[in-house]
Structure 1
Amino acid sequence: MIAQFPFLQALTERDRRWPRLALMAAGAPVAVMLLAMAVAMVLSILTGGEVFAVSDLPRLRRSAVYVLQLGAGLGALALAVMLAARVIFARKLITWLTAAPHFRWGLVGWGAAVTAAGVAVVMTADVLTGNGQFAPPILDPGSGLALKLFYVAAVLIGLFVAATAEEVVFRGYLLQQTAAFTPNVWLIVAINAAMFALAHLEFDPAALAARALAGAAFAWAALRLGGLEFAIGAHVATNLMIALFQAPMLPEDGEVTGGLEDVFGEVMLAFYTVWAVEITRKMTRLMGPISSRA
């Protein structure tokens, strides 16, 4: 069944060998630790020891610095995992990113655009029904234009790196590694969604459901479109819309909680993403020669 998905065609017998998996299980954490220590040292020097931006800086500036640091940390983690995989499984790094000859930046932009539109509809519905408040960080009356522009640039860069890192690890390496041991696509998607939700370490039912739905939709996008490009764009857009129009990300943020209305919105977004993916498959200019044959 998985033979119809070009993104899984890079799998080889090496991906199924238990000694290599054991080496990956031991080597990847070591690589992550070493690279994370290097990044932490650099960030500590650059921020005067305030690695998590806990200071008396204005809220938007603290959030901007924090998001940049978060992106650096997650980027280092993903880079370490993929370098370990590159050495252990003897495959080109791009095979965990796309089945296309080149990374499709147009597909990233398209994924971001259609997802931003869907998230905007859900946010507007939340405000109109009284479940959300309209207090966009980019319209913060206590912040000047220069700070707002810095905030927008910082969250765009930081969230792009962070979202790309998560997609590379979850929809790149982990999704393909799961597919090496089962031909059942629905099981592959379900495992990926569960791992993505649990990895965020926020166990409120609404938060778990939201991330599992997003993870499943992004996994479907990677499989159907032959790469991570659309999912990266969609992931970035989702986080960016929250950072710009809902609330800034801060290190002291508590665990995400929600109710049935929040889960309903995530269900709608997941179905919308799947619909957008199926429409995108027919866009030959964006897709190139790569698409699932189902």
Structure 2
Amino acid sequence: MAIINNAKREINAKIVYYGHEGAGKGTSLHYLYERIKPSLRGELKTLPASGGSLLFFDFCPFEQPVFGGYRIRFHIYTLPGRVVNPAAWKMTLKGADGVVLVADAAEAATAGRQSVERLRDYLASYGMSLNDMPAVLQVNKADRAEAANAEATAALLEVEHLTACLSTALNGEGVLETFSALSRQIMERVGEEHTLHAEPAPLPPSSVAAPQVVPPPSHEPPARSDSPVDAPPAQSPPPPATAEEETAAPLPPETESLVDLQVTLADEAVPLADGSVRIPLAISLHGQTRRLVLTVAIGPDTDVP
């Protein structure tokens, strides 16, 4: 499920390019990165991962918010080349909101079928399935295979329910179309799962206005009708305080506004491949609950000499 960051007003969705060795997943990711406007994308990074390497970057496809004042940010991952340790794929696929299944058009009957079987196993370990999550099939190297057919390849791989696209990643043909098909599915799923109002989320009371200080009730008798005209009008006394209110010490205004603040762990923390950890939190204040994701980088302190 995509994670909503209310602090940044962003929806974060994870996409994984999956495929067998030589299918073209790394080449597709590089082409996609080069085609994105630099101001909308993050840095393309490569990190070691269980005997292989992890390639990833993030970007916002729209400069303006699309979901009621929220922007969507895609985090794109892949493991290029041959992946020796299955744990690397399992780690990368954890928490995925969408998958681009890349298959070599000429090797779909052999390496492609084995790759799909392993993908099903990896997803099943997290209670996920290709049948109930956004996913597309990218039939790559269509220029090298005679009479390449996307639908026929999907049937051969037993994923005929997926949207299938032909591509040639070396020149980028079909790469953007494949990603667009998947991103539309993810955005539709986000719209179904999350209720994001068109208006901006309300600010906490302390940000809207300073707390009003109510003067203590006056024990003076109400003003008589013949009081001077410049005397302040009489006010009705507040209802009598309960025993608990009489004995409790008054809270400062800034403490009173946070008396019902609750911060809880909304879901399991998710370790990321770059060494950081995403911690989903639920914050309740004044009867309203918001979710945010705290990203904590874990590593050596570079500021210490």
TM-score normalised by length of structure 1? 0.27
Structure having the higher Rg? 2
- Kindly indicate which of the two structures has a greater share of residues assigned to helix: 1
Higher relative contact order (Cα pairs below 8 Å, separated by 6+ residues): 1
TM-score normalised by length of structure 2? 0.27
- Kindly indicate which of the two structures has a greater share of residues assigned to strand: 2
